[in-house]
Structure 1
Amino acid sequence: MLAPAALAPRLNLAHCMKMALIHDMAESLVGDITPVDKVDKTEKARREAAVMDYIAGTLLAGVPGTGASTGQEILAVFHEYEANETLEAQFVHDVDKMELLLQMVEYERASGVDLTEFCHVAGRIQLPEVKEWAATVMQEREAFWAGKQAAAAANGSSSSA
């Protein structure tokens, strides 16, 4: 996992990776619920907590050698992520938002479809170092759309001549 140079020394990156993977475990069964899905935060949290209880309690209970401590550790890291109070949790939340922004831009470039409805996510990034990353991505996005508009205008003016 990469982190901005100014932030990396303050992070336990191994813990961040573990947290990101555990968060993705919940999403793998619940789905990646975004604000566009119009599922309220309480319901989203309920679904994800139920899935994590199932993974930690039921699925891992049947795996020889894992024991209850693995399930407890998974739940503890999941709850740390959900509480969003540690620097690592804030970073993983921000990286999750960055991933959405990067997917948005890549999809826009590949398809030409404007996905402005996801741009608000950039404003929800907490850490200044990650905000800088997001600002760079959004500037590149703006340059892409400005280039498309300029090309469309040039094509429109040349076809009418």
Structure 2
Amino acid sequence: MKVLGACPLDCPDACSWVVTVEDGVATGLRGNKEHLVTRGALCVKVNRYLELGHVVVSLGAHDTEFIAEHTEGWPEFRDRIEEFTPERVTAISELRREQIVALGERIARTRPTAIRASQGMQRHAGGGMALRVLGCLPGVTGDWAIPGGGLHYSTSGHFRIDDVERTRRRAAG
């Protein structure tokens, strides 16, 4: 089922979304091609980090075996990744192409790659979607299958951790 929605961000374009819903769960999000202003495009606030996936795929560093066995929706996600070239993101953001490519190459060539997202990322415009895309990158590279790889979202501010005890145990070996 397709459901029309609107972006909650406070932008002048008021982007329109088409959300794919399967068994009551949102499984896809695309820009509405019938929107008079954006014509189906989603802004960089919503699409952050897809350009890194573009670099990984363009280098052939995506893990096709992991993708086939452990992910869903790869053809659609790959199509979306391919839309966000470093050049396109440079044109709509303050990032330089060299920055995008350098980080994308590092993610593509380093095993395991672990991405750490900290408190606050989800609190800015588009942060939730950015965090979601960050969580997909280790699926593209297969890093979810490697100890030490994947995505870590820190919740340490919400749980008391006995750092003194943890340090003592490490020192004891």
TM over 0.5: no
Question: Which is richer in strand?
Answer: 2
Q: Rg larger in 1 or in 2?
A: 1
* Alignment TM-score, normalising by the size of structure 2: 0.25
